[in-house]
Structure 1
Amino acid sequence: MPLLVMKFGGTSVADLARIENAAKKVQAEVARGYDVIVIVSAMSGETNRLVGYVEGTSKLYDAREYDAVVASGENVTAGLMALRLQEMGIPARSWQGWQVPINTTSAHGSARFIDIPRANIDAKFAEGFKVAVVAGFQGLSAEGRVTTLGRGGSDTTAVAFAAAFGAERCDIYTDVDGVYTTDPRISSKARKLDKIAFEEMLELASLGAKVLQTRSVELAMRYKVRLRVLSSFEDTDENSGTLVCDEDEIMESKVVSGVAYSRDEAKMTLVTVEDRPGVASAIFGPLADAGVNVDMIVQNISEKNYGNHSGAVTDMTFSVPTNQVARAQKAMEDARAAGLINYDELIADTDVAKVSVVGIGMRSQVGVAARMFKALAAENINIKVIATSEIKISVLIDRRYMELAVQALHDSFELDKA
């Protein structure tokens, strides 16, 4: 039988009524002739509740026991979903990660997939079962301990199962009805896309779009898993939602497909760093060791030029998430104390936002950057930092202008038009 993977997030299974609604969507796919693997998240708010229990019990908790506790939320949902499907007359059973087994690394809280053997689930399908309901977000280490996959782990689980079982498609059910050209809460002109390329979706996800988790898109792109994003709260058919697919499936792409944003950005500048070979390594090595996620990087000539330094100096500017500013500051102070680098001042600006335009059409179109900068200039929005790739341009701007910038860029590239 053809196989379909369906994933339901926390809001889609938040209570018994929503679990029943999700089960009806599974029932419809079974009626179309599919065998179905359903991946479920914990009920909305449940994981946070379980994390609170762990932190309230032990501040310096054992990560293995943390995983054992927080993974239980998905187990409950899987069992309830299987029971509801059985009540509908559909042969279904639930699977926890260790029963499949979903083999992962031993990095508790951020485990990675090793492999997903098909034999156990295939055997149940051969016996006449139509649905396997699998607890997302979890796996099994080589030591026999439950592991969890980190934020967005259920999305990643769904894509991994679709790849392992050669599914026709992986449907991600969420609280939005697809991928939009930008956040509809910011621009009323935002338009739902029928299709978007893997690379575009990966950039949008990494730049702030919350529809899909970045790891899941990376995995889908690697294994060519066709993803469909659609709402669990609306009636759907085979043409609903947004299809995330290979670029070859899209006849003609607009130059820019979407505008993404991130409020949680900070700009950090090391003033008058020695301009010598190895200085970048001396800066970004300690930041990496401290677990700081550096994004945009700009090196420029320092206004102080030589100052009290014996040789040429430079300023180094980079962006980090706002919640990692203190960690970055400590890493730089420790590096200076250890004699790895020397600088006069570390300036942190936490009142910035990142706005990006993304589109595979940029590869063959000139003038995209000029059009973007002209649109921002027309709104008197100053650009602090610029970073580019083959299919995206990102800028850091004052946070108070973020929504205005998104609207201006959406209008400039006429993203409201099909």
Structure 2
Amino acid sequence: MPLLVMKFGGTSVADLGRIKNAALKVKREVERGYDVIVIVSAMSGKTNELVGWVEQTSPLFDAREYDAVVSSGENVTAGLMALTLQEMDIPARSWQGWQVPILTTSAHSAARFIDIPRENIDAKFAEGFKVAVVAGFQGVSAEGRITTLGRGGSDTTAVAFAAAFAAERCDIYTDVDGVYTTDPRITSKARKLEKIAFEEMLELASLGAKVLQTRSVELAMRYKVRLRVLSSFEDTDENSGTLVCDEDEIMESKAVSGVAYSRDEAKMTLVKVQDRPGIAAAIFGPLAEAGVNVDMIVQNISELADGGAYTDMTFSCPTNQVMRAQKAMEDARASGAVNYADLVVDTDVAKISVVGIGMRSHAGVAATMFKALAAENINIKVITTSEIKISVLVDRKYMELAVQALHDAFQLEKA
């Protein structure tokens, strides 16, 4: 039988009524002739509650027991979904991660997939079961301990199952009805995309779009898993939502497909760093060790003095990592690894990005972007580019205006 993977997020299974609504969508696919693997998240708010209980019980908790507790939310949802399907006369059973088994590394709360053997679930399909309801976000280590996959783990679980079982498609049901050209809350002109390429979706996800988790898109791109993003709260058909697919499935691409933004960015500049071989490694090595997620990097000549060249090194990072970055740089200077005159921090910036695989074959994208921002008197602080992306840092107060201006400049409201 053809196989489909369907994933339901926390808001889609928030209570028994919503679980029943999700089960009706599964039943419809079974009636169309599919065997279905359903991946479920914990009911909305449940994981946060479980994490809170762990932290109250043991501030310096054992990560193995943390995983045992927080994974239980998905187990509850899986059992309730299987029961609901059974009440609809759909042969279904629930599976916890260790029962499949979903084999992962031993990095508790941040585990990675090793393998998903098919034998156990295939055997149940052969017996006449039509639906396997699998608890997302979890697996089992070589030591036999329950592991969890970290933020967005259920999305990643769904894609991994679609790859392992060669599914026809992986449908991600969420609280939005697809992927838009930008956030509809910022501009009413935002348009739902019918299709978007893996590379574009990966860039948008990493740049701030919250529709899909970055790891799940990376996995889908690697294994060519066709993803469909659609709403749990609307009647849907085979043409609903947005299909995330290979570039070859998209007939013709516009230069820009979407505008993404990230509000919580900070710009940090090391002033008057000695320009010598290895200086970048001396700066970014300690930042990596401190767990600072550095994004945009710009280096420029600062000053020529005393017969030696100096440089300013600017980089961006999330605002909640600024103190960690400052300490890493202060420690590096104290150890003599890096010398700099000053560390200037600006925590009032936002990152705006335009993304599109069409940039490869369209000239003038950067010029259009910069003219649109200039027309609104928005100053650009930092610019970085890649083959399908241009990102800028601007003052945060101009973030929404910048998104609207760029959406208009590239006429993204037009199909």
So what's the TM-score if we normalise by structure 1? 0.99
Query: Are the counterparts in 2 of residues 272 and 305 from structure 1 also a CA contact under 8 Å?
Result: no
Match of residue 395 from structure 2: 398
Deviation at 1:330, TM superposition (A): 0.6
Does structure 1 residue 350 correspond to structure 2 residue 347? yes
Q: Residue 376 of structure 1 is aligned with which of 373, 376, 401? A: 373
Q: Report the equivalent of 1:249.
A: 249
Deviations 1:225-250 (A, max 9, x none): 00000000000000000000000000
Q: Which residue of 2 aligns with 1:236?
A: 236
Where in structure 2 are the equivalents of 1:196-211 lying within 5 Å? 196-211=196-211
Runs of 4+ in structure 1 off by over 3 angstroms are none
Q: State the one-letter code of the partner of 1:177.
A: D
SS at match of 1:217: helix
Aligned mate of 2:364, from 358, 363, 367: 367
Q: Report 1:319-358 matches (<5 A).
A: 319-358=316-355
Per-residue deviation, residues 12-44 of structure 1 (Å, max 9, x unmatched):
000000000000000000000000000000000
Question: Which residue of structure 2 aligns with residue 413 of structure 1?
Answer: 410
**Residue 115 of structure 2 corresponds to which residue in structure 1?**
115
Instruction: For 2:226, give the aligned amino acid.
Output: R
The 1-side partners of 2:346 and 2:41 are apart by 37
2:404 aligned partner, one-letter code: Q
RMSD: 0.7
Work out the CA distance in 1 between the residues paired with 2:264 and 2:205.
Answer: 14
Match in the other structure for 1:316: 313
Does 2:54 align with 1:57?
A: no
Please give the alpha-carbon distance, in whole angstroms, between the structure 2 residues aligned to 1:333 and 1:57.
Answer: 35
Cα shift readout 1:73-95 (whole Å, capped 9, x = no counterpart): 00000000000000000000000
Quote the offset at 1:310 in angstroms.
Answer: 6.3
SS at match of 1:143: coil
Q: TM-score, normalised by structure 2?
A: 0.99
Match of 2:277 in 1: 277
- Partners in 2 of 1:326 and 1:191 — Cα distance? 38
Rounded to whole Å, the distance in 2 between the matches of 1:15 and 1:347 is 48
Q: Which runs of 5+ in 2 are unaligned?
A: none
Distance in 2 between residues matched to 1:102 and 1:84, nearest whole Å: 24
Partner of 1:159: 159
Q: How does 1:106-145 map to 2 (within 5 A)?
A: 106-145=106-145
Tell me, in whole angstroms, the C-alpha distance in 2 between the residues paired with 1:373 and 1:311. 35
How far, CA to CA, are the matches of 1:115 and 1:26 in structure 2? 26
In structure 1, distance between residues paired with 2:390 and 2:63: 38
Return the alpha-carbon distance in structure 1 between the equivalents of residues 58 and 391 of structure 2: 41
Q: How many Å separate the matches in 2 of 1:42 and 1:7? A: 12
8 Å contact from structure 1 (residues 111, 148) kept in 2 = yes
Consecutive unaligned residues in structure 1, runs of 5 or more? none
Letter of the 1:367 partner, please give it: G
Secondary structure class of the residue paired with 1:353: strand
Instruction: Tell me the distance in 2 between the aligned counterparts of 1:342 and 1:314.
Output: 11
State the partner residue of 1:226: 226
User: Which of 365, 386, 398 pairs up with 2:383?
Assistant: 386
What is the total number of aligned residue pairs between the two structures?
415
| SS of equivalent to 1:312 | strand
Q: What is the alpha-carbon distance in structure 1 between the residues aligned to residue 409 and residue 29 of structure 2? A: 41
Displacement of 1:301 in angstroms is: 1.6
Matching residue's letter, 2:187: S
Number of the residue aligned with 1:300:
300
Give me the whole-angstrom Cα distance separating, in 2, the residues matched to 1:154 and 1:270.
Answer: 39
Structure 1 residues 204, 236: closer, same or farther in 2, change over 3 A? same
Deviation, 1:347, is 1.0
* Matched AA of 1:274: Q
Are 1:410 and 1:416, in contact at CA under 8 Å, matched by a contact in 2? yes
Instruction: Please report how far the alpha carbon of residue 60 of structure 1 lies from its aligned counterpart in structure 2 after TM superposition.
Output: 1.0
Distance 1:171 1:221 in 2: 15
Q: Distance in 2 between matches of 1:173 and 1:356?
A: 26
- Could you say which residue in structure 2 is the equivalent of 1:85? 85
TM-superposition CA deviations, 1:358-382 (whole Å, max 9, x none): 0000001111000000000000000
* Distance apart, 1:305 and its partner CA: 3.9
Equivalent residue for 1:187?
Answer: 187
The amino acid across from 1:180 in the alignment is: Y
Task: Say which SS state the counterpart of residue 327 (structure 1) adopts.
Answer: helix
Per the TM alignment, residue 162 of structure 1 is displaced from its structure 2 partner at its CA by 0.1
Which residue is 2:68 aligned to? 68
> SS at the partner of 1:77?
helix
* Alpha-carbon contact 1:265-1:320 (below 8 Å) kept: yes
Letter in 2 for 1:14: A
Kept in 2: contact 1:77–1:135 (CA 8 A): yes
Letter paired with 1:415: L
Q: Is this contact kept in 2: 1:168–1:226, CA < 8 A?
A: yes
Q: The residue matched to 1:64 in structure 2 has which SS? A: helix
Deviation (angstroms), 1:311: 2.1
Secondary structure in structure 1 of the residue aligned to 2:308: coil
Task: After superposition, give the CA deviation of every residue in 1:117-160 in whole Å (9 maximum; x if it has no partner).
Answer: 00000000000000000000000001100000000000000000
Q: Deviations over 1:85-124 (max 9, x none)?
A: 0000000000000000000000001100000000000000
- Distance in 1 (alpha carbons) for counterparts of 2:48 and 2:268: 31
Q: Tell me the amino acid that sits aligned with residue 242 of structure 2.
A: T
Give the residue type in structure 1 aligned to 2:263.
R
Matched with 2:9 is: 9
Cα deviation, 1:25-75, whole Å, max 9, x if unaligned, reads: 000000000000000000000000000001111111111111111000000
Residues 1:35 and 2:35 are matched in the alignment? yes
Counterpart-to-counterpart distance in 2, 1:115 and 1:337 = 45
